[in-house]
């Protein structure tokens, strides 16, 4: 079977620590794939919050994101009470979309790599919208400090 291969980014600007709780476990008693996606989404929302933005307001009062696709490659397991970190960065900007690049790790051990395609949507008109300049500037400003 052919597998999707995602490549780690050279750097990740944002880091979201999480402790694995019982609600994150699958029937196999490890971090469930569905909950890994939930934790990646929480990390993404935390990044926007840290910049004074939200997933439904990227700085212009009407534009937010919708998920176009998400791909995850799993490399190792995490278990109850493990301390993990979701590293996040953004790139591949176009006029109407961008990507979230994420690495989930326990210490130096990579547990998973994820990429999420995000499309910008005007929540009032329910139509695809341009990526707000405030969002682009917020990312650029953060990267200039790191």
Q: For 3-24, how does the pLDDT look when each residue is reduced to its tens digit (9 = 90+)?
A: 888 999 999 999 999 999 999 9
Kindly give the pairing relationship between strand 97-106 and strand 14-19: unpaired
C-alpha 141/C-alpha 106 separation (Å) is 28
State pTM to two decimals: 0.94
Q: Please, what is the average pLDDT of the chain?
A: 95
C-alpha 86/C-alpha 104 separation (Å) is 5
Give domain limits for the chain: 14-145
C-alpha 146/C-alpha 136 separation (Å) is 16
Q: Could you tell me which CATH number the domain at 14-145 has?
A: 3.10.129.10
Kindly give the pairing relationship between strand 83-91 and strand 14-19: antiparallel
146 pLDDT above the threshold of 70: no
Residue 17: strand pairing partners: 85
114 pLDDT above the threshold of 90: yes
Asked whether the beta carbons of 8 and 102 are under 8 A apart, the reply is no
């Amino acid at each position: 079977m052919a597998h999707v291969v995602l490549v780690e980014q050279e750097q990740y600007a944002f880091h979201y620590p999480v402790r694995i709780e019982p609600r994150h476990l699958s029937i196999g008693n490890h971090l469930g794939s569905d909950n890994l996606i939930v934790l990646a989404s929480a990390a993404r929302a935390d990044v926007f919050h840290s910049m004074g933005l939200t997933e439904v307001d990227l700085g212009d009062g009407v534009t937010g994101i919708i998920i176009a696709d998400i791909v995850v490659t799993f490399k190792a397991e995490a278990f109850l009470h493990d301390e993990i970190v979701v590293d996040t960065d953004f790139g591949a900007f176009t006029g109407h979309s961008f990507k979230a690049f994420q690495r989930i790790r326990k210490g130096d051990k990579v547990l998973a790599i994820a990429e999420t395609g995000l499309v910008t949507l005007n929540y009032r008109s329910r139509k695809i919208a341009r990526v707000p300049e405030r969002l682009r500037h917020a990312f650029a400003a953060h990267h200039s400090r790191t």
